[in-house]
Amino acid sequence: MAEPEVNLRKTYDAVIIGSGAAGGMAAHVLTTHGLQVLLLEAGKKLPIEQELRSMEWPYDNAHRGFLPPDSHSLTFNEYTIRNPPYGAGFEKAKHLHSYVGSTDYVKNIVVDERENPFTGTNYAWVRARCLGGKTNIWGRLALRLSDYDFKAKYRDGFGENWPISYSDIAPYYDKVDLYLGITGVKENLPYLPDSIFQRPTKLNCAEVTLKQGLQKMGRVLTQYRAGVTSDGLKHNKYRSRCYGRGACERKGGCDIHAAFDSPTGLIYPAMDTGNLTLRTNSIVREITVDQATGKASGVLFVDSQTMKDYNVRAKVVIVAASTLESTRLLLLSKSRLHPNGLANSSGHVGHNFCEHIMGPGVAGRAKDLVGKPPTLDDGRPGGFYLTRFRNLAEKHPKFIRGYGFEGGSGSAMFPRGADTHGFGADFKEEVRKNQGAFIGMGAFGEVLARYENFVELDPVVKDKWGIPSLRFRYKFGDNEYRMAEDMKETAQEMFEAAGFEIVHVSGRVLTEGWSIHELGTARMGNDPKTSVLNQFEQSHDVKNLFVVDGSAFVNASCQNPTWTIMALCWRSCDYLADELRKGNL
Ligand X SMILES: Cc1cc2nc3c(=O)[nH]c(=O)nc-3n(C[C@H](O)[C@H](O)[C@H](O)COP(=O)(O)OP(=O)(O)OC[C@H]3O[C@@H](n4cnc5c(N)ncnc54)[C@H](O)[C@@H]3O)c2cc1C
Shortest distance, CB of residue 41 to ligand SF4, whole angstroms? 23
Shortest distance, CB of residue 197 to ligand X, whole angstroms? 16
Q: Which residues pair with 405 in a beta bridge?
A: 386, 443
Size of the site for ligand SF4 (CB under 6 A): 15
With CB under 5 to 8 Å by kind, the binding choice for 513 among ligand SF4, ligand X, none is none
Distance of alpha carbon 22 from alpha carbon 519, whole angstroms? 13
Distance of alpha carbon 361 from alpha carbon 353, whole angstroms? 25
List residues binding ligand X (CB under 6 A). 17-23, 40-43, 100, 126, 128-129, 133-135, 137-141, 283-284, 320-322, 325, 329, 516-517, 549-550, 560-562, 565
Given a contact cutoff of 8 angstroms between Cβ atoms, the answer to whether 487 and 518 are in contact is no
Site for ligand SF4 in 498-527 (CB under 6 A): none
482 is a contact residue toward ligand SF4 (CB under 6 A): no
Distance of alpha carbon 408 from alpha carbon 400, whole angstroms? 27
| Residue 413 DSSP one-character state | S
Of 37-45, 378-386, 467-475, 561-569: span binding ligand SF4 (CB under 6 A): 378-386
Shortest distance, CB of residue 136 to ligand SF4, whole angstroms? 12
With CB under 5 to 8 Å by kind, the binding choice for 359 among ligand X, ligand SF4, none is none
Beta carbons within 8 Å of 67's beta carbon, 6+ residues apart? 73, 97, 101, 102, 103, 104, 107
381 is a contact residue toward ligand SF4 (CB under 6 A): yes
How buried is 155 (Cβ within 10 angstroms: 0-12 exposed, 13-18 middle, 19+ buried)?
middle
Residue placing its CB nearer to ligand SF4 in the complex, 248 or 516? 248
Residue placing its CB nearer to ligand X in the complex, 213 or 440? 440
With CB under 5 to 8 Å by kind, the binding choice for 437 among ligand X, ligand SF4, none is none
Residue placing its CB nearer to ligand X in the complex, 352 or 492? 352
* Nearest alpha carbon to residue 123 among 74, 165, 89: 74
What is the radius of gyration, based on Cα positions, of the chain?
Answer: 23
**Position with the least CB separation from ligand X:** 20
Site for ligand SF4 in 10-69 (CB under 6 A): 54
Give the 3-state secondary structure of residue 169: helix
Of 103-111, 236-244, 412-420, 568-576: span binding ligand SF4 (CB under 6 A): 236-244
Distance of alpha carbon 496 from alpha carbon 451, whole angstroms? 39
How buried is 373 (Cβ within 10 angstroms: 0-12 exposed, 13-18 middle, 19+ buried)?
exposed
Shortest distance, CB of residue 133 to ligand X, whole angstroms? 2
228 is a contact residue toward ligand SF4 (CB under 6 A): yes
Residue placing its CB nearer to ligand X in the complex, 135 or 531? 135
Beta carbons within 8 Å of 3's beta carbon, 6+ residues apart? 279, 280, 281, 282, 303
Contact pick of 114, 245, 251, 396 for ligand SF4 (by CB under 6 A) = 245
With CB under 5 to 8 Å by kind, the binding choice for 242 among ligand SF4, ligand X, none is ligand SF4
Distance of alpha carbon 509 from alpha carbon 250, whole angstroms? 23
Q: Which helix (H) or strand (E) holds 31?
A: helix 21-32
Phi, psi of 581 (to 5 degrees): -60, -40
Distance of alpha carbon 15 from alpha carbon 273, whole angstroms? 16
Given a contact cutoff of 8 angstroms between Cβ atoms, the answer to whether 357 and 513 are in contact is no
Shortest distance, CB of residue 394 to ligand X, whole angstroms? 27
- Could you write out the DSSP letters of every residue in 168-221? HHHHHHHHHHHHH--B-----BTTB-----BSPPPP-HHHHHHHHHHHTTT--E
Contact pick of 2, 59, 88, 243 for ligand SF4 (by CB under 6 A) = 243
With CB under 5 to 8 Å by kind, the binding choice for 21 among ligand X, ligand SF4, none is ligand X
Residue placing its CB nearer to ligand SF4 in the complex, 413 or 502? 413
Residue placing its CB nearer to ligand X in the complex, 153 or 175? 175
Shortest distance, CB of residue 230 to ligand SF4, whole angstroms? 8
Please calculate the CA angle 157-160-161 and round it to the nearest 5 degrees.
95
258 is a contact residue toward ligand SF4 (CB under 6 A): yes
242 is a contact residue toward ligand SF4 (CB under 6 A): yes
| Residue 410 DSSP one-character state | S
Residue placing its CB nearer to ligand SF4 in the complex, 247 or 510? 247
With CB under 5 to 8 Å by kind, the binding choice for 576 among ligand X, ligand SF4, none is none
346 is a contact residue toward ligand SF4 (CB under 6 A): no
With CB under 5 to 8 Å by kind, the binding choice for 232 among ligand X, ligand SF4, none is none
Q: How far is CA 352 from the centre of its chain?
A: 18
- Could you write out the DSSP letters of every residue in 364-398? EE-GGGTTPPP---SSSS--EEE---SSSSSPPSS
Residue placing its CB nearer to ligand SF4 in the complex, 232 or 294? 232
Q: Which residues pair with 299 in a beta bridge?
A: 287, 312
Shortest distance, CB of residue 20 to ligand SF4, whole angstroms? 18
Given a contact cutoff of 8 angstroms between Cβ atoms, the answer to whether 236 and 150 are in contact is no
Task: Kindly give the pairing relationship between strand 545-547 and strand 309-319.
Answer: parallel
With CB under 5 to 8 Å by kind, the binding choice for 41 among ligand X, ligand SF4, none is ligand X
244 is a contact residue toward ligand SF4 (CB under 6 A): yes
Q: Is the dihedral of CA 87, 93, 95, 101 positive or negative?
A: negative
Q: Residue 402 to residues 353, 405, 407, 556, 566: CA-CA distances in angstroms? A: 18, 11, 17, 10, 23
Shortest distance, CB of residue 468 to ligand SF4, whole angstroms? 38
Contact pick of 33, 211, 356, 380 for ligand SF4 (by CB under 6 A) = 380
183 is a contact residue toward ligand SF4 (CB under 6 A): no
With CB under 5 to 8 Å by kind, the binding choice for 54 among ligand SF4, ligand X, none is ligand SF4
Please calculate the CA angle 343-166-526 and round it to the nearest 5 degrees.
30
Shortest distance, CB of residue 347 to ligand SF4, whole angstroms? 43
Site for ligand SF4, rule CB under 6 A: 54, 228, 242-245, 247-248, 254, 256, 258-259, 379-381
